[in-house]
Structure 1
Amino acid sequence: MKIIIAGAYAIGTHLAKLLSRNDQDIVLIDEDEERLNNISNDYDLMTIHSSPSSIQTLKNAGVQHANLFIGVTPDENMNMNSCILAKALGAKRTVAKVNNYEFIDEKLKEFFNNLGIDSLIYPENLAARDITNGLKMSWVRQRWDVHNGALIMLGIKLRETCEILNEPLKDLCKPESPYHIVAIKRGEDTIIPRGDDELKIYDMAYFMTTRNYIPYIRKIVGKEHYVDVRNVMIMGGGNTAIRAALTMPEYMNAKIIEADEKRCEYINEIVDTDRTMVINGDGRDLPLLIEEGIKNTQAFVALTANAETNILACLTAKRMGVRKTIAMVENLDYVSMAESLDIGTIVNKKAIAASHIYQMMLDADVKNTRFLMTANADVAEFTAQPGSKITKKKVYELGLPKGTTIGGLVRNGEGHLVSGNTEIEAGDIVVVFCHNVNMSKIEKFFN
């Protein structure tokens, strides 16, 4: 598959890194030679030092043969214009990053399609959705709904209260068990577990289960004492904060602390003031946080543009008794450090946007893909085609690549967990979790 990326900034470079693992034909275009040099030496891709809005540049990149053209420069006009040109020159599919929320209105979809822009992404909205999902389940670090919630994947940090530590998984995850452990993040290592592996304290464990067993999972990991989130304090009044406040469930109330007075006035015009209070102040000011009731707050979300500030603010909130903390960490180099400090959920809107685009490069038979930054792993939904290799043997006989496990399947709209003796049928939607595995190797089992 030929993929052209316009913009060697955070989203473009992160996306190029993800795609280069799968032996794709990647061309990265940028006007800054230094940015291109920073990535081209480490990854298998072609770089072009030029403007992505140049017709000749697009032709030199082979846009007429491109399966996917992606515009992810900081300039939304550049992104949209280059997508329009790319489509006119023969690109099969185009996607542009935008900074204006109005553009992603469903009513405008046909308008942009007619221009030649197939998809628009607004990273702040994607990040807000992840934040809101995290607030709905205060005891979970990550949640991923498979096939409209038929299966649920939960990433959970294990503490002393967990009931299933230090036991072989073969004794815990039996065919009749209501969950499977599909991956374990331990320190810097990601483990695709086998029967003899055990869960250890401070592991991040990824559970695959069905919706009705979520309370059971909560019990066995010892998280029943975590209170549900009702009051949320948000530090920083940027676009992600606004989108998060607007998409929170009705039973939640939010306080947004923003230092800029004019920005506070702007936010007040947009949010529902019955459920969201905007406070003009410095979120690092401890007396202000106490005055605004941080000790009675169940969640603290730090969304300023400064990663260090967000990390320190979440550490402070934890010391003041806030159970659920979420930090925006835009510098990818800081993500592992933030995780080691155990500050809670890490949100990187650039990585989220790259992950969202990532699924577009896979075959149409892959319905949903998610790159889990914290586990350095992919989760994907594949549809088993009639006569495909995946349908001809039991799971344990398939010889799946090392680093791959099947978490579950959806058959006739109903979620089922998978064991070694499971036989996958044509039409089943199968959830595959893989670490350091070329996705094309997995696709071959399903096509």
Structure 2
Amino acid sequence: MKIIISGAYAIGTYLARLLSRNQEEITVIDDDEERLARIGTDYDLLTLCGSASSVKTLREANAGDADLFIAVTPDDNANINSCVLAHALHARKTVAKIDDSEYMEPDIRQFYKELGVDELIYPEMLAARDIINGLRMSWVRQRWDVHNGALVMLGIKLRESCEILNRPLKELCGPDDPYHVVAIKRKDETIIPGGNDELKCYDLAYFMTTKQYIPYIRKIVGKEHYVDVKNVMIMGGGATAVRAVQTMPEYMNTKIFEVDPDRCDELNQLLNDQALVINADPRDMGVLTDEGIYNTQAFVSLTGNAETNILACLAAKRMGVRKTVAMVESMGYASMAESLDIGTIINKKAIAASRIYQLMLDADVMNVTFLLSANADVAEFIPKPDSKVTRKAVKDLGLPQGMTIGGLVRDGEGMLVSGNTQIQAGDDVVVFCHNVNMKKIEKFFN
């Protein structure tokens, strides 16, 4: 597959890293030679210095032969313009990153689709969705729903109170048990577990289950004492905070701390009483105390500074807040935040790249998510008739090492998968993989 990426910034660089694992033919266009030099030495790809809004540059990059053209510069107009031009040159599919919610309105999305922009990616909206999913369950690091909760994946940090530690998974996750452990992050190691693997204290374990058994999972991992989130404090009033508040469940009460008084006025107009906006610096412990930090169940730090977000969440944890969420754009800082036990880590470039990554797959893929903490991918595949995955029971498929099938949805009903499960065409199958070429997995479903 030939892929052209316009913009060697954060998302483009991360996306190049993600796609280079699959040995695709990748060309990165940027008008800054230094950015191109950095990305060119790190990954196996071609670079081209120039503007993707130039027809000459696009022709030089052979955009007409591109299977996927991705525009992820900081300039919305440049991204849309370059996608329109690439489409006119007969690129097969185009994707543009945008930073304005107006573009996501259905009629406007359709307008740009008719112009040749097949997909619009709005990182703030994607990040807000992940934040809300994290806040809905204070005892869970990450939640991922399949078919409106027919299947649920829960990423949970295990503590001493977990009652299923130090036992082989084959004793815990049999065909009749209501959950499977599909991935484990242990210190710097990611494990796609087998029957002889065990859960250890401080593991980050990923459980696949169905909605009715969520209370049971909560009990066996020892998290029943975690209170549900009703009061939320958000540090930083940027675009991601606005999107998160606008999609917040009605039962959650939210306070936003913003140091810029002019931005506070803008927030009051944008949010229309959906949150209490406070002009103050929440790094001041006195301010947090006055505003009720000890009666707050969740603290979300969304400033543009990763160090500030990490330190703020550490401080909130020391003041008794169970659920903390930090926006951390640096991958190096993300690893550090995980080791410090910060809580849920939000990385917009990884979230956006996961969504774009889904678009390059040929199989019928409903969703792809990169599990940042575990350095693993989870995807929903729909098998085609007579595809390899439908011909034998799961245990006889010869799945590659580092891949496991966590569950499936059939006729709207979630089911866990065992070795004897026979997958059918049209099932929605949830796959976990670590260090496996997604194209290799895709062949099982085509």
TM exceeding 0.5: yes
CA–CA separation in structure 2 for the residues paired with 1:118 and 1:402: 34
Are residue 73 (structure 1) and residue 73 (structure 2) matched? yes
Contact kept? 2:138, 2:226, Cα under 8 Å:
yes
1:135 Cα shift? 0.5
Q: Deviations over 1:350-409 (max 9, x none)?
A: 111111111111114122111111111111111222222212211111111010111011
Alignment-derived partner of residue 309 in structure 2 = 310
User: Within 5 A, what are the aligned runs for 1:219-234?
Assistant: 219-234=219-234
CA–CA separation in structure 1 for the residues paired with 2:12 and 2:223: 38
1:16 Cα shift? 0.9
Alignment-derived partner of residue 242 in structure 1 = 242
Are residue 126 (structure 1) and residue 134 (structure 2) matched? no
Contact kept? 1:236, 1:283, Cα under 8 Å:
no
1:146 Cα shift? 1.6
1:426 Cα shift? 2.1
Using the size of structure 2 for normalisation, the TM-score is 0.98
Alignment-derived partner of residue 45 in structure 1 = 45
CA–CA separation in structure 2 for the residues paired with 1:444 and 1:353: 24
Are residue 87 (structure 1) and residue 94 (structure 2) matched? no
Alignment-derived partner of residue 337 in structure 2 = 338
Helix, strand or coil: the match of 2:42? Answer: coil
Helix, strand or coil: the match of 1:87? Answer: helix
CA–CA separation in structure 2 for the residues paired with 1:409 and 1:309: 40
Larger deviation: 192-201 or 21-30?
Answer: 21-30
Q: Which amino acid aligns with 1:418?
A: V
Using the size of structure 1 for normalisation, the TM-score is 0.98
CA–CA separation in structure 2 for the residues paired with 1:70 and 1:235: 32
Q: Which amino acid aligns with 1:174?
A: G
Structure 2 unaligned blocks of 5 or more: none
Helix, strand or coil: the match of 1:445? Answer: coil
Q: Deviations over 1:19-72 (max 9, x none)?
A: 111122211111111111212223221111111111111111111111211110
Alignment-derived partner of residue 416 in structure 1 = 415
CA–CA separation in structure 1 for the residues paired with 2:9 and 2:432: 28
What is the root-mean-square deviation of aligned Cα atoms in Å? 1.0
Q: How many residues align?
A: 446
CA–CA separation in structure 2 for the residues paired with 1:129 and 1:410: 22
1:286 Cα shift? 0.7
Once the two structures are aligned, what percentage of the paired residues are identical? 70
Helix, strand or coil: the match of 2:140? Answer: coil
CA–CA separation in structure 1 for the residues paired with 2:353 and 2:443: 24
CA–CA separation in structure 2 for the residues paired with 1:114 and 1:39: 33
User: Within 5 A, what are the aligned runs for 1:30-41?
Assistant: 30-41=30-41
Helix, strand or coil: the match of 1:330? Answer: coil
CA–CA separation in structure 2 for the residues paired with 1:114 and 1:43: 34
1:148 Cα shift? 3.0
Q: Which amino acid aligns with 2:231?
A: N
Are residue 253 (structure 1) and residue 253 (structure 2) matched? yes
Alignment-derived partner of residue 19 in structure 2 = 19
User: Within 5 A, what are the aligned runs for 1:357-436?
Assistant: 357-436=356-435
1:144 Cα shift? 0.9
Q: Which amino acid aligns with 1:216?
A: Y
CA–CA separation in structure 2 for the residues paired with 1:239 and 1:324: 21
Helix, strand or coil: the match of 1:446? Answer: coil
Contact kept? 1:30, 1:36, Cα under 8 Å:
yes
Helix, strand or coil: the match of 2:423? Answer: coil
Helix, strand or coil: the match of 2:443? Answer: helix
Contact kept? 1:391, 1:424, Cα under 8 Å:
yes
Q: Deviations over 1:184-220 (max 9, x none)?
A: 0001110010111100000000001111111111111
Q: Deviations over 1:298-317 (max 9, x none)?
A: 00000111111110100000
Alignment-derived partner of residue 295 in structure 2 = 296
Helix, strand or coil: the match of 1:36? Answer: helix
1:107 Cα shift? 2.2
